[in-house]
C-alpha cells in the first residue's frame, strides 16, 4: 500500500504543477508599460513607482497639482480598478 501512495502523490503533484504553469501561460497579462499607459489615461502625471501585486499593478503617480495618486490596474485586462 505504501509503495503505491508515494508514486500516486508524485503524479498528482506533477500534474497540478503542469496545470498551473499552463494556465499562467494562457492567461495573457499586460506589461508594466501597458499598465503605466492605462494609469496615465486615468490620471495624467509623472510615474513615481509601479509594483505588481497578484493580479494587479499599482502605479504611483504625481499629478500636476502635486498630489500623489495610486492607480490600480487589472493585470489581465488592463482595466482601471480604482484610484486613491
What was the pLDDT predicted at 20?
Answer: 40
**pLDDT of 5-44, one tens digit each?**
555 555 656 565 443 444 444 578 999 999 999 999 999 9
What was the pLDDT predicted at 18?
Answer: 46
Other beta carbons within 10 Å of 56: 16
The CATH number of the domain where 54 resides is what?
Answer: 3.10.450.40
Computed over every residue of the chain, the mean pLDDT equals 82
Estimate to the nearest angstrom the gap between the alpha carbon of 41 and the chain centroid.
19
Q: How many distinct structural domains can be found in the chain?
A: 1
Expressed as residue numbers, the domain containing 16 is: 2-83
Q: Which residues does 18 contact at the CB level (< 8 Å), separation at least 6?
A: none
Is the pLDDT confidence value at 76 over 50?
yes
Is the pLDDT confidence value at 55 over 50?
yes
Amino acid at each position: 500500500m505504501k509503495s503505491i501512495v508515494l508514486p500516486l502523490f508524485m503524479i498528482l503533484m506533477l500534474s497540478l504543477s503542469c496545470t498551473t504553469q499552463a494556465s499562467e501561460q494562457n492567461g495573457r497579462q499586460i506589461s508594466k508599460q501597458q499598465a503605466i499607459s492605462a494609469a496615465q489615461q486615468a490620471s495624467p502625471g509623472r510615474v513615481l513607482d509601479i509594483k505588481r501585486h497578484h493580479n494587479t499593478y499599482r502605479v504611483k503617480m504625481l499629478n500636476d497639482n502635486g498630489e500623489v495618486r495610486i492607480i490600480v490596474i487589472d493585470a489581465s485586462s488592463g482595466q482601471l480598478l480604482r484610484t486613491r
